[in-house]
Amino acid sequence: MTTLKEMQQQVDEYISGFKAGYFTPMENMVRLTEEVGELAREINHVYGPKQKKLSEKEKDIGLELADNLFVLLCLANSMDIDLTDSFNETMEKFNKRDYNRFERKS
Protein backbone atom coordinates (compact mmCIF):
# COMPACT_ATOMS: atom_id res chain seq x y z
CA MET A 1 0.00 0.00 0.00
CA THR A 2 1.25 3.47 -0.86
CA THR A 3 1.33 5.96 2.00
CA LEU A 4 0.44 9.65 1.73
CA LYS A 5 4.11 10.50 2.21
CA GLU A 6 5.03 8.23 -0.71
CA MET A 7 2.29 9.78 -2.84
CA GLN A 8 3.64 13.25 -2.06
CA GLN A 9 7.13 12.08 -3.00
CA GLN A 10 5.92 10.54 -6.28
CA VAL A 11 4.13 13.74 -7.23
CA ASP A 12 7.20 15.79 -6.29
CA GLU A 13 9.45 13.61 -8.45
CA TYR A 14 7.02 13.99 -11.36
CA ILE A 15 6.62 17.76 -11.03
CA SER A 16 10.38 18.24 -10.50
CA GLY A 17 10.91 16.96 -14.03
CA PHE A 18 9.43 20.16 -15.48
CA LYS A 19 11.10 23.57 -15.62
CA ALA A 20 7.92 25.32 -14.50
CA GLY A 21 7.65 23.23 -11.32
CA TYR A 22 4.56 23.59 -9.17
CA PHE A 23 1.78 25.97 -10.02
CA THR A 24 1.13 28.63 -7.38
CA PRO A 25 -1.31 27.74 -4.60
CA MET A 26 -3.95 29.94 -6.27
CA GLU A 27 -3.47 28.20 -9.63
CA ASN A 28 -3.67 24.79 -7.94
CA MET A 29 -6.84 25.86 -6.14
CA VAL A 30 -8.41 26.76 -9.48
CA ARG A 31 -7.30 23.41 -10.91
CA LEU A 32 -8.79 21.64 -7.89
CA THR A 33 -12.08 23.46 -8.39
CA GLU A 34 -12.13 22.30 -12.02
CA GLU A 35 -11.42 18.71 -10.97
CA VAL A 36 -14.12 18.79 -8.27
CA GLY A 37 -16.55 19.99 -10.94
CA GLU A 38 -15.64 17.06 -13.18
CA LEU A 39 -16.12 14.65 -10.27
CA ALA A 40 -19.46 16.22 -9.37
CA ARG A 41 -20.65 15.96 -12.97
CA GLU A 42 -19.77 12.25 -13.12
CA ILE A 43 -21.41 11.49 -9.77
CA ASN A 44 -24.51 13.36 -10.95
CA HIS A 45 -24.56 11.20 -14.10
CA VAL A 46 -24.23 7.95 -12.16
CA TYR A 47 -26.21 8.67 -8.98
CA GLY A 48 -28.22 11.77 -9.79
CA PRO A 49 -30.92 12.77 -12.23
CA LYS A 50 -28.67 14.20 -14.93
CA GLN A 51 -28.24 11.93 -17.92
CA LYS A 52 -25.17 12.03 -20.12
CA LYS A 53 -25.35 13.46 -23.59
CA LEU A 54 -25.12 10.78 -26.26
CA SER A 55 -21.74 12.21 -27.31
CA GLU A 56 -20.28 12.01 -23.76
CA LYS A 57 -18.01 9.15 -22.80
CA GLU A 58 -18.48 7.44 -19.46
CA LYS A 59 -15.77 8.34 -16.96
CA ASP A 60 -14.45 6.35 -14.03
CA ILE A 61 -15.37 7.99 -10.72
CA GLY A 62 -12.27 6.46 -9.10
CA LEU A 63 -10.05 8.15 -11.68
CA GLU A 64 -11.87 11.45 -11.14
CA LEU A 65 -11.22 11.10 -7.38
CA ALA A 66 -7.55 10.35 -8.13
CA ASP A 67 -7.31 13.48 -10.32
CA ASN A 68 -8.54 15.47 -7.31
CA LEU A 69 -6.04 13.73 -5.05
CA PHE A 70 -3.19 14.53 -7.45
CA VAL A 71 -4.01 18.24 -7.40
CA LEU A 72 -4.38 18.17 -3.59
CA LEU A 73 -0.94 16.56 -3.37
CA CYS A 74 0.48 19.25 -5.66
CA LEU A 75 -1.14 21.94 -3.53
CA ALA A 76 0.26 20.47 -0.32
CA ASN A 77 3.73 20.03 -1.81
CA SER A 78 3.78 23.57 -3.19
CA MET A 79 3.14 24.86 0.35
CA ASP A 80 5.48 22.34 2.03
CA ILE A 81 2.66 20.65 3.97
CA ASP A 82 3.03 17.08 5.19
CA LEU A 83 -0.40 15.60 4.54
CA THR A 84 0.23 12.63 6.81
CA ASP A 85 0.62 14.95 9.79
CA SER A 86 -2.37 17.03 8.73
CA PHE A 87 -4.53 13.95 8.16
CA ASN A 88 -3.63 12.54 11.56
CA GLU A 89 -4.58 15.84 13.23
CA THR A 90 -7.88 15.86 11.35
CA MET A 91 -8.72 12.30 12.40
CA GLU A 92 -7.91 13.14 16.01
CA LYS A 93 -10.25 16.13 15.76
CA PHE A 94 -13.10 14.05 14.28
CA ASN A 95 -12.60 11.24 16.77
CA LYS A 96 -12.88 13.66 19.68
CA ARG A 97 -15.42 16.18 18.43
CA ASP A 98 -17.75 13.84 16.56
CA TYR A 99 -17.37 10.61 18.55
CA ASN A 100 -20.98 10.70 19.75
CA ARG A 101 -22.40 12.92 17.01
CA PHE A 102 -23.98 10.08 15.04
CA GLU A 103 -25.54 6.82 16.15
CA ARG A 104 -22.78 4.25 16.39
CA LYS A 105 -22.97 0.62 15.37
CA SER A 106 -23.27 -1.90 18.20
Longest Cα–Cα distance of the chain, Å, equals 55
* Span 45-86, pLDDT tens digits: 999 988 888 787 878 999 999 999 999 999 999 999 999 999
Q: What is the pLDDT of residue 53?
A: 80
Q: In the structure, what pLDDT confidence band is assigned to residue 99 with cuts at 50, 70 and 90? A: confident
- pTM of structure: 0.88
- Cβ neighbors of 17 (< 8 A, separation 6 or more) are none
Structural domains in the chain plus CATH codes:
4-97 (1.10.287.1080)
